[in-house]
Chains A and B, each alone.
Chain A
Amino acid sequence: MAKVRHESAWYPLEPGETVLDGLLRQGVQVPHACRAGACQSCLMRATSGAVPEAAQVGLKDTLKARGYFLACACRPREGTALEVAGAAELRVPARVVDLESLSGDVLAVRLEVEAPLDYRAGQYVTVVRADGLARSYSLASLPREGRLELHVRLVPGGAMSGWFARDVRPGERMHLQGPAGDCFYVPGQPEAPLLLAGTGTGLAPLYGIVRDALEAGHTGPIHLFHGALEPRGLYLVDALRALASRHPNLHYRPLVLSGGGGDVEEGPLEARILASLPKRPVGWRAFLCGNPEAVLSLRKKLFLTGFSLKDIHADAFLPSTPRAGPVAGAA
């Protein structure tokens, strides 16, 4: 049996159980969302004992060196003892300053942080509510803008999005953890063609990335595809059209599966993107965000057409997954 010590109490783990599951099962609050090692909202720090390598995959070296690990990916070996602490010291307090509805199901949440957050446009942060509920959201803002902007999709029955939509007013406080993610623009090769594609609120990081690239003086063609099921799933359409009219190298292509017409194309996103590429897309860079199936499928297709893996930056939005089995007091 492995055991974990958290705030002066020891908790036994069942064979093969993760630290996250073991602690939650025994009533310890640990922020978490994806349970797949991707969102980093379940970060904890090992104060003594060793964590398996798999629990630190994807973490920055500075975090690894300080003993941070992902509780949802940490299965300590049988017979080991691990002492852990939460990641409170990595969190910064933030305050909601403004809420704006961008479409029927997307809410812009603007935040002010008390300590400056050092991030790149396109990265994401984890919002941690006072009771420990955590969700990750991409940043649509640019660092120089001061305020952070998140695009929150209103998920039916969603705990965090429902709270934002119903209860949160300007002034509400929460904590942010992060930033994380490596889907961002890196200056250099300003003439390289860029492909940006996203579905739904996958537009949020792309909105940051496209403006970041333009401000950095990117001169190569930038193709921005935003896909939705229907026209009302699109948002920021006017802002992006205005941006494209100021920057002739920006080609904004809103696309829907049904109900298109006028300036909105109709058809499947992936086929449209592939059809728009040259035969040999040499030197292209791609940024893909949103729905995981769409992102992963497109990434594979782009690789097969000749994109180098290092030139494809993908951020698949994993849904938050509740713990399997009955959970006492879950809501």
Chain B
Amino acid sequence: MASVYERIGGEPAMAAAVEVFYRKVLGDDRINHFFEDVDMERQAAKQKAFLTMVCGGPSNYSGKDMRAGHKHLVARGLNAMHFDAVVGHLKETLEELGVPAELVGQVMAVAEGARADVLNR
């Protein structure tokens, strides 16, 4: 069966989603301090890779990379509340772009599966 990634429109859909998603993240005072002082383009590229991964598209993210990539943020206080906030923005983004609820649910399940790695538990 086609992946969620393919069913919601592949790369062009990700490109559209990433700006909406990133804008929500940067506009959220609970979490935007984790995204400051970084190159916005590189940051957007990372977010796109993240979206692609949770949607089941071609990606080279591994659990190990997720751990390593968030370690310094955990040291700065990244916790479950922040994780929930990001996942909430992801859900809203997909809904705004008209992704069917069933597919949004599948993406949420994948994102949930990354929780332990992201929070270095």
Contacts and interface: CB of A to CB of B under 8 A. Distances in A.
10 contacts: A300-B26, A300-B40, A303-B19, A303-B23, A303-B26, A306-B23, A308-B19, A309-B19, A309-B41, A309-B44
Contacts of B98: none
A145 B5 CA distance: 50
B9 interface: no
Interface string A296-327: 00011001101011000000000000000000
A309 B23 CA distance: 10
Contacts of B40: 299-300, 303, 309
Contacts of B19: 303, 308-309
The binding surface of chain B is classed by DSSP as helix
Contacts of B41: 309
A297 to B, nearest CB: 10
* Contact-size category for A: under 10
B27 interface: yes
Nearest to A308: B19
Interface in B41-98: 41, 44
A240 B23 CA distance: 35
A-B residue pairs, 9 tightest by C-beta:
A309-B44, A304-B27, A304-B23, A304-B26, A308-B19, A309-B41, A309-B40, A299-B40, A300-B26
Nearest to B41: A309
Interface in B1-60: 19, 22-23, 26-27, 40-41, 44
Contacts of A308: 19
Contacts of A304: 23, 26-27
Interface of B: 19, 22-23, 26-27, 40-41, 44
A309 B41 CA distance: 7
A279 to B, nearest CB: 15
Given A303-B22, A304-B27, A309-B44, 12 more contacts: A299-B40, A300-B40, A303-B19, A303-B26, A303-B40, A304-B23, A304-B26, A306-B23, A308-B19, A309-B19, A309-B40, A309-B41
Contacts of A299: 40
Interface string A267-304: 00000000000000000000000000000000110011
Contacts of B22: 303
A299 B22 CA distance: 14
A114 to B, nearest CB: 35
B2 to A, nearest CB: 28
A299 B27 CA distance: 13
A299 B26 CA distance: 12
Contacts of B26: 300, 303-304
Looking at B22, B27, B40, the one whose CB has the most chain A CB atoms below 10 A away is B40
A239 B9 CA distance: 50
Looking at A299, A300, A306, A309, the one whose CB has the most chain B CB atoms below 10 A away is A309
A52 B34 CA distance: 26
Contacts of A300: 26, 40
B17 to A, nearest CB: 13
A306 B22 CA distance: 11
A304 B23 CA distance: 6
A48 B115 CA distance: 43
B60 to A, nearest CB: 14
B28 to A, nearest CB: 11
B51 to A, nearest CB: 15
A300 B44 CA distance: 12
A300 B27 CA distance: 10
Nearest to B43: A309
B43 to A, nearest CB: 9
A309 B26 CA distance: 13
B34 to A, nearest CB: 14
Contacts of A306: 23
A69 B26 CA distance: 32
A216 B33 CA distance: 41
